[in-house]
Structure 1
Amino acid sequence: MNFAAPWFLLGTAFAALIGLLLILGGFGVARAIKRFGDEDRVKALTTADPAKRRAWKGVLLVLATALAFVAAARPQYGKGTRLVPATNVDVVVVLDYSKSMYARDVEPSRIFRAKIEVARLIKDLEGARFGAVAFAGEPMGFPLTADGAAIAQFFRQLDPNDMPIGGTAIARALDQANDLLKRDPKSAEHKRIILLVTDGEDLEGYPLSVAQAIGAQGTTIHVVQIGGRTPEPIPEIGPDGRIVGWRTDRQGKPLTTELSLSGEQQLASIAQATPGGQIIRAEKGTTGIETIAAELRRQMKSELSERVETVYADVYFYPLGLAILLLIAEVFLKDAPRRRF
């Protein structure tokens, strides 16, 4: 037996209070008769003693009140079981293709390792659908599909040198990812996740506002932060993928990439603005994507997996019907038997 609204069971204490008041009232009537005069003489003046009938009426009223509160608590019993199908998962991977992703603090480079680990994530999450957004100054997307190999190929064929506009437009990239999810009619019924992999800070848009709007729709954003506050030089990569030098500014000084304190706070706020969002900061020599991949695999095997649950049937009408019958009986039970003339 189960109760859908168990707090209503506290109302049975109100029924007990009614019973206590009726008992005290009965004692009060007995004392009043004694004060009025001799008890035997008073009884001789009455046609019937209503004490027993009033006691029964009180019992019926108390039971009816208690049963009414039991009915309000919505008693249920296990009628059977049903199979709850696994929750489908839609993941949009948003990968940073700014030129700072050529940095070599992750071997052989940040972007090369990120693409390998994204491909591994796609392969490991069987049954999930994937979309893709590659971004620098402007995003470009690939719609949701069950063909994970196509998503891996989309990322694999791109390099930071292929991006038409430089920069780190995180806000526009998140908008693009959200559009991919909203344009797919099936996605509304699925668990929606955006995986942002970046080493930079958005200095142009307002990614936190975008993340808050996405979180309000129930979509989770996990952020993988590659790189930290330690400056890393940025290599110049030729068309053949080999290093041809090191990037410099107009004064000829080496360009380095590092994430400021405000940048780290921005990325953490993006994840925290969505339900269940996590920020993973890559350790030296790793990207951190494998940490998120392990968490998503765990969710798909436990929280989002197929399960059996008990189906409960409401039976509140039984105590409610009995309470109504008891109230009807209380109404028709008179204080004294009908007199015959």
Structure 2
Amino acid sequence: MFKDISFANPQFFWLFLLLPLALLWYFFKHNEESASLKISSIKGFTVNNILPKLKPLLLILRLVALAAIITALARPQTEDISTRTKTTKGIDIVMAIDVSSSMLARDLKPNRLAALKEVAADFIRQRPNDRIGVVAYAGESYTKTPITSDKSIVLNALKEITYGQLNDGTAIGMGLATSVNRLKESKAISKVIILLTDGVNNSGFIEPQTAADLAVEFNIKTYTIGLGTNGNALSPVAYNADGSFRYGMRQVEIDEDLLKNIAEVTGGQYFRATDNEKLEEIYDEINKLEKTEVEEFKYYKYEEKFRPWVLLAGALLILEWLLRNTLFRSFI
């Protein structure tokens, strides 16, 4: 009966304490007011009327009416809450992903590129209020998808990234410059690049420092991630006769000084991911650092439910009055 019902004035329920007091008062007062007649014998009197036994019904009707009035005073009501969210500070993010052959190294499981795509997909799903784009780079770079709020497009673009779509190499400067180009016209409050690589800059015609200066000019923060274990990793070293990769142990070389410098000058941070767990932690940390401010508006609609209780109390009081002045008139 009271499911999903709240009370605007629950303090009135304290009045229920008056009901047992009223009941006690009735019994004491009733005994005092009841007339008595002493006779030697009631032989010859036949009393078959049941009405005197129903006399307490009047009290019950009055007490139930009082309980209904108290409930009405407490103002039972249902509450309907609707919400609307407004993004007050949206963030535009470009993920620059290294897709060189070294990203097939197996120090992360099943390999660096597959591990990155899985973690990056989780990151994208956690940014429902932001626009995200994807840039892929190896010996050169290209925009896989421009910044968009449609996460399904971004996730599909990320899923389609594979090795072999670009000439091999690691053009960090090109990847960063292409990312800057995607964000330079953005009107977002915050613009962010997440640049990941597992090597050193050895390709491209744009120097990483030049690209970093461009990011500074357009007020674009860059988080850099060096991906790869410390020491040696099982990596592609040559091609087999069937065109597949031959794997061998290779020294992991990451230009950490360059990545740290890019992050520092643009106001970002540098991270090193040596395994799958560390990579997940890094993206979680970036997710926490770059928070989108969302304003939530709540609209409350109340529907008052006290009227049925008032009507019930009124009906009970009228019934009590009618019974008192008709059926019970001669007994009370």
TM-score range, shorter chain: 0.5 to 0.7
Amino acid at match of 1:162: Q
Aligned residue number for residue 330 of structure 2: none
Q: Which residue of 1 aligns with 2:253?
A: 259
Distance 1:137 1:144, change over 3 A: same
Q: Deviations over 1:170-228 (max 9, x none)?
A: 10111111111124xxx223310000111011134421221122123211000111015
1:86 maps to a residue whose letter is T
Kept in 1, the 8 Å contact 2:119–2:279? The answer is: no
1:98 touches 1:136 (CA, 8 Å); kept in 2? Answer: yes
In the alignment, the residues of structure 2 paired with residue 294 and residue 306 of structure 1 have an alpha-carbon distance, to the nearest angstrom, of: 22
State how 1:104-143 maps to structure 2 within 5 Å.
104-141=106-143, 142-143=145-146
1:284 Cα shift?
A: 3.3
**Identity of counterpart residues, as a percentage?**
25
Match of 1:182 in 2: 184
Is there any run of 5+ residues in structure 1 with no aligned partner, and where? 1-83, 248-253, 309-341
- Go from structure 1 to structure 2 and tell me whether the alpha carbon gap of 1:85 and 1:234 turns closer, same or farther (over 3 Å shift): closer
Aligned length: 208
The one-letter amino acid paired with 2:156 is: Q
Counterparts of residues 1-341 of structure 1 (less than 5 Å) = 86-141=88-143, 142-163=145-166, 165-183=167-185, 187-204=186-203, 205-235=206-236, 244-247=244-247, 254=248, 256-260=250-254, 263-275=255-267, 277-286=268-277, 288-297=279-288, 299-300=290-291, 304-306=293-295
Q: Note the C-alpha offset of 1:119.
A: 0.7
Cα gap change, 1:93/1:306 in structure 2, threshold over 3 Å: closer, same or farther? same
Distance 2:153 2:256 in 1: 32
Confirm or deny: 8 A CA contact 1:106 1:287 kept in the other structure: no
AA at the equivalent of 1:225: G
Runs in 1 of length 4+ with deviation above 4 angstroms? none
Paired residue type of 1:148: K
How far, CA to CA, are the matches of 2:131 and 2:275 in structure 1? 30
Between the aligned partners of 2:153 and 2:87, the Cα distance in structure 1 is 27
Summarize deviations over 1:146-167 as a string: whole Å, max 9, x none.
Answer: 111211211211211232x110
How far the C-alpha of 1:286 sits from its partner, in A, is 3.7
Cα gap change, 1:268 to 1:138, in 2 (>3 Å)? same
Amino acid at match of 2:106: R
Shift of 1:123: 0.3
Matches of 1:127 and 1:85, distance apart in 2: 7
Of Structure 1 and Structure 2, the greater helix share is in 1
Deviation digits for residues 113-161 of structure 1, max 9, x if unmatched?
Answer: 1001111100011111001101101112021111112112112112112
SS of the aligned residue for 1:288 comes to helix
TM-score, scaled relative to structure 1 = 0.55
Residue segments in structure 2 that go unaligned for 5+ positions in a row: 1-85, 298-332
The 3 A distance-change label for structure 1 pair 196 and 287 is farther
**Partner deviation per Cα, 1:67-105 (whole Å, 9 max, x = no partner):** xxxxxxxxxxxxxxxxx9621110000011000000111
Report if the CA contact (8 A) 1:94-1:177 is conserved.
yes
Distance 1:126 1:158, change over 3 A: same
1:234 aligned counterpart, secondary structure: strand
